[in-house]
Structure 1
Amino acid sequence: MKVIVVGCTHAGTSAVKNILKEAPEAQVTIYERNDNVSFLSCGIALYVGGVVKDSASLFYSNPEELTNLGANVNMEHDVLDIDVTTKTVTVRNLVTGEELTDTYDKLVMTTGSWPLTPPIPGIDQENILLCKNFNQAKEIIAQADSAKKITVVGAGYIGIELVEAFAMKGKEVTLIDGLDRILNKYLDKEFTDVIEAQLETEGITLALNQQVSSFLGADGKVTGVETAAAVYEADLVILCIGFRPMTDLLAGKVDRIDSGAIIVDEYMRTSNPDIFAAGDSAVVHYNPTGDYSYIPLATNAVRQGMLVGKNIIEPKLAYRGTQGTSGLHLFGLNIGSTGLTEASAKHLGMNVGATYFEDNYRPEFMPTTENVQMKLVYDADTHRILGGQLMSQYDITQSANTLSLAIQNKMTIEDLAITDFFFQPHFDRPWNYLNLLAQQAMEDASN
């Protein structure tokens, strides 16, 4: 069996390793347009901020490892066309300019995603940078060294983490976002109000509910970012607006959703049974809604990549879906979230209940304790848990994983209210704070 893997992202790397494990007789060929594989883009802010000293540690794999496992690795090779009828791919060697044609029995599409770049006047200036791959990370670090006023456009996780990294480096930082709250996809207002106040305390200028209308500049370099409300001086701009799947090679050849993400079944097969897709190229099954969604996270990528390998010969292991669980450490705050927020659920027209609750994570008789802010989102009719959010100075982020499991297994607030968690005063109360949150939700739901 001959397998071609297009793009060696996290999903591609995971797919290759598992294909070679499950089908050691398979001939696996990788075509990757970059000169590196499997770069952990969510570690860029840690690298920029100096927390991670060795950039090599941000790669999950390398071409040598995959070659040693038995893959035929072709770096700096760009796939130009995929013919699904003849099962051939046309590839250009980006170093020599040579073109070649290769054939496959199974094709794996793991080309990943690319940052959104809206057609804003002035966006092409040389000190307006994207934040996705290793080369971009190096360029951000190189330019940030001499920059004094840095503007980050986009208040999602990557944007927020860069803001913290730049502020810790003593830069004057402005954060611009078109929505009226930061981290809008992950957290409700009770949490974002606290984080926004912390950002302002750290000297960061928040320009929320403002769309960038143009980038001002001189001599090919940006000098300011203009919105309808103001002009913000900047000698470096980082765009973190979002991502789009890079799947144009299969446009009209497999089923996709409007964003371009490829629709896959529970075995990672596309509408063409000889083509698999995973990671940022593909949809996920979003358990809180029971529908397709596009959630480009490394966690989703490595799981889906593994499933490609498990199912490349025949269906063996089905996808369990995702809750979009994530965590964030920001200026001493530990934040975890999973599933739907109250705002996103209502935007979807769902009939939900929501409970906000605070408590200390362990007894007050201990030498220290910390307050935990929590929220549970649930179906108002069935009481099935649909989402959860937690934030504290204490590291409670693993509890987001507990709530993720509750959503995946369709647990109700009643189930969580009396779930068995251990008690030891060093760690928690006789009733764990998740028990207490769910018990409060039961009270709220009965009123």
Structure 2
Amino acid sequence: MKIIVIGCTHAGTAAVKNIATLYPDASITVYEKNDNVSFLSCGIALYVGGVAKDPTQLFYSSPEELRGLGVTMNMKHEVLFVDVESKNVTVKNLETGKITNDTFDKLVMSTGSWPIIPPIDGIKLDNILLAKNYHQANTIIEKAKEAENITVIGAGYIGVELVEAFEQYGKNVTLIDGEDRILNKYLDKEFTDIVEDEFVTRGITLAMKQTVTQFKGENGKVSKVVTTKGEYDTDLVILCVGFKPNTDLLKGQIDMLANGAIITNEYMQTSHPDIFAAGDSCAVWYNPTMEYRYIPLATNAVRMGTIAAHNIVEPRVKYVGTQGTSGLHIYGLNMASTGLTETSAQHAGVPYKVVDVIENNRPEFMPSFDSVKLKVLYAPDTKRVLGAQLISKADMTQMVNTLSVCIQNHMTMDELSFVDFFFQPHFNKPWNLLNQAGLAALESKKTLQLV
């Protein structure tokens, strides 16, 4: 059996390692445009901010390791064309320019995503950078050394983390986004307000509800960012406006969402049974609304790549879907979310109810304790858990992982009320915060006294 894997970051690396282990007799060939594999792009801000001192530790595998498993690793090779029906690929060696053809029995499409680059006037000026791969991270670090004013466009996770890193690096930082607040895809306003207050306290300029219309430059380098509300002096711009799936190779040949994200079944097969897909190139099954969505996350990618490997010969392991669970640490604040927020529920037209719990993480007789803010959304009719958000200076984020399991398994708030969680004063209170959330929903039927 001859297997070709196109792209080798998270999903590709997971697929290759597992295929090599599960099917040692298979012939595995990887085509990768970069000179490295498995780069953790979520660590770029930590690298830029100096938290991650050794950039090599942002890789959890290497071409050499995969070659040691018997895999043919073609680095700096770009696949130009895939013919699904004839099972043929056309490949260009980016170092020599030589073009060759190859064939496969099975194909794993793990080409990932690429940053969205908006068609803004002046976008090709120097010092307007992307933040996706290892080489871009190195460029950001080098350019930032000479920059005094840095502008980050896009207030998602990567953008917000870079803002913190640049501010701690002593730079004047401006954050621009078209929405009215930061992190709007992950947290509701009462949570993002807390983070925004931290930013403003540190002198970061928040330019919300603004669209960039132009980049102005001097001597070929960007010097100003022009928006619908003003102009901002800048020496360096980082674009973090989102990602799109890299799937042009298969367009018109397999089923996709409107944005090009590949649709797979629960075994990671595409509409062609011998073509598998995993990672940021794919749509995922979103359990809270029971539909396909595009949610590019490294956690999704490694799961999907592993599942594709297990099913490459025959269907064996099912993908259970995702809740889009994610976490963030900014200025000592630990936050996480899973499933629907109020914002996303309203956008999707999903009815919901909300419970809020504001409680200290441990008993007040302990030497120290921190306030925790937890919010849980649930369905009005069935009381099924739909989503949750949490923020605290104490690291309580694993509670959100627990609630992710609740959503995946269609658990109700009534059940959550009486789940068996341990109590120990060093860690929590007799009534766990998750129990308290369930009980708050239950109070509409009966008022309970907590001890």
TM-score, reference length from structure 2 = 0.98
Q: What does residue 299 of structure 1 align with?
A: 299
Q: Does structure 1 conserve the Cα–Cα contact (< 8 Å) formed by 2:267 and 2:318?
A: yes
Provide, for residues 245-274 of structure 1, a one-character-per-residue CA deviation record: whole Å limited to 9, x for no partner: 000000001000011000000000000001
Q: What does residue 155 of structure 1 align with?
A: 155
Tell me the amino acid that sits aligned with residue 12 of structure 1.
G
Tell me the amino acid that sits aligned with residue 371 of structure 1.
S
Q: What does residue 405 of structure 2 align with?
A: 405
1:342 maps onto 2:327 in alignment: no
1:264 maps onto 2:264 in alignment: yes
C-alpha separation between the residues in 2 aligned to 1:445 and 1:215? Answer: 58
Please say which of residues 105-114 and 16-25 is displaced more in the overlay. 16-25
C-alpha separation between the residues in 1 aligned to 2:285 and 2:258? Answer: 15
C-alpha separation between the residues in 1 aligned to 2:273 and 2:396? Answer: 42
Structure 1 position 357, deviation (Å)? 2.0
Q: How does 1:183-222 map to 2 (within 5 A)?
A: 183-222=183-222
Tell me the amino acid that sits aligned with residue 95 of structure 1.
E
Identity rate of aligned residues, in percent? 61
C-alpha separation between the residues in 2 aligned to 1:126 and 1:222? Answer: 6
Q: How does 1:20-35 map to 2 (within 5 A)?
A: 20-35=20-35
C-alpha separation between the residues in 2 aligned to 1:279 and 1:11? Answer: 5
Provide, for residues 127-160 of structure 1, a one-character-per-residue CA deviation record: whole Å limited to 9, x for no partner: 0000000110000000001100000000000000
Any gaps of 5 or more consecutive residues in structure 2? none
Q: Would the alpha carbon gap of residues 231 and 355 (structure 1) be closer, same or farther in structure 2, given more than 3 Å must change?
A: same
Structure 1 position 38, deviation (Å)? 1.2
Q: What does residue 325 of structure 1 align with?
A: 325
C-alpha separation between the residues in 1 aligned to 2:443 and 2:243? Answer: 40
Q: How does 1:254-293 map to 2 (within 5 A)?
A: 254-293=254-293
Q: What does residue 422 of structure 1 align with?
A: 422
Structure 1 position 62, deviation (Å)? 0.6
SS at match of 2:163: helix
Q: What does residue 143 of structure 2 align with?
A: 143
C-alpha separation between the residues in 1 aligned to 2:227 and 2:413? Answer: 44
TM-score, reference length from structure 1 = 0.99
Count of aligned residue pairs for this structure pair: 447
C-alpha separation between the residues in 2 aligned to 1:232 and 1:440? Answer: 47
Structure 1 position 358, deviation (Å)? 0.4
Structure 1 position 446, deviation (Å)? 8.2
Q: Does structure 2 conserve the Cα–Cα contact (< 8 Å) formed by 1:351 and 1:381?
A: no
Q: What does residue 382 of structure 2 align with?
A: 382
C-alpha separation between the residues in 2 aligned to 1:82 and 1:192? Answer: 44
Structure 1 position 440, deviation (Å)? 1.4
Q: Would the alpha carbon gap of residues 444 and 155 (structure 1) be closer, same or farther in structure 2, given more than 3 Å must change?
A: farther
Q: What does residue 238 of structure 2 align with?
A: 238
Structure 1 position 441, deviation (Å)? 2.7
Q: Would the alpha carbon gap of residues 288 and 119 (structure 1) be closer, same or farther in structure 2, given more than 3 Å must change?
A: same
Provide, for residues 377-430 of structure 1, a one-character-per-residue CA deviation record: whole Å limited to 9, x for no partner: 111111100100000000011111011011111101111111110011111111
C-alpha separation between the residues in 1 aligned to 2:445 and 2:74? Answer: 57
Q: CA RMSD in A?
A: 1.1
C-alpha separation between the residues in 1 aligned to 2:434 and 2:424? Answer: 15
C-alpha separation between the residues in 1 aligned to 2:103 and 2:12? Answer: 18
Structure 1 position 442, deviation (Å)? 2.7
Structure 1 position 356, deviation (Å)? 2.0
Structure 1 position 355, deviation (Å)? 1.7
SS at match of 2:86: coil
1:440 maps onto 2:448 in alignment: no
Structure 1 position 24, deviation (Å)? 1.0
C-alpha separation between the residues in 2 aligned to 1:312 and 1:41? Answer: 27
Tell me the amino acid that sits aligned with residue 301 of structure 1.
A
Q: Does structure 1 conserve the Cα–Cα contact (< 8 Å) formed by 2:340 and 2:388?
A: yes
Q: How does 1:345-364 map to 2 (within 5 A)?
A: 345-364=345-364
1:46 maps onto 2:46 in alignment: yes
Q: Does structure 2 conserve the Cα–Cα contact (< 8 Å) formed by 1:353 and 1:445?
A: no
SS at match of 1:367: coil
Q: Does structure 2 conserve the Cα–Cα contact (< 8 Å) formed by 1:328 and 1:334?
A: yes
